[in-house]
Amino acid sequence: MWPGVVADALARFESAFGQPGRYLNASPVWQPGLEVEYARDDLEEVMLHLPDGARRDLGRLIARIDDEFERRTLPNPGPMNACTVGGWWWSRSREH
């Protein structure tokens, strides 16, 4: 983890959720490390290292992010791959 990891992750979600339309657009070019799924991975990792109070506070924010991400993506009907081995957010699909 690095200083500002939470702020960086939240900024990526803010940018993604600021997109117009019902569903999130997929990037035309895969950008490893820059996709919001990676930002969600970062938040999950941070949660493992926070004290109880901070974990609860960030957890409430993550719950709202998860709700919005789930609302603005679709279930991915395809088979699981290396990327989807992680959190549930990797099994969601965005529009192209």
User: How confident is the model at residue 31, as a pLDDT?
Assistant: 62
Looking at residue 62, what is its pLDDT?
97
pLDDT tens digits, the chain, 96 residues: what are they?
Answer: 778 999 999 999 999 899 888 888 776 556 666 788 999 999 999 999 999 999 999 999 999 999 999 999 988 876 665 555 679 998 888 875
The tokens of 49 are what? 């290292």
What DSSP state is assigned to residue 93?
Answer: E
Q: Which two tokens stand for residue 90?
A: 């990797």
Residue 23 and residue 74 in contact, taking contact as beta carbons nearer than 8 Å: yes
Domain ranges of the chain: 5-93
pLDDT of residue 28: 58
- Dist CA 72 CA 45 (whole Å): 23
Q: So what's the pLDDT on residue 19?
A: 85
String of DSSP letters for 28-59: SS--TTTSHHHHHHHHHHHHTTS-HHHHHHHH
State pTM to two decimals: 0.83
3-class state of residue 27 by DSSP:
coil
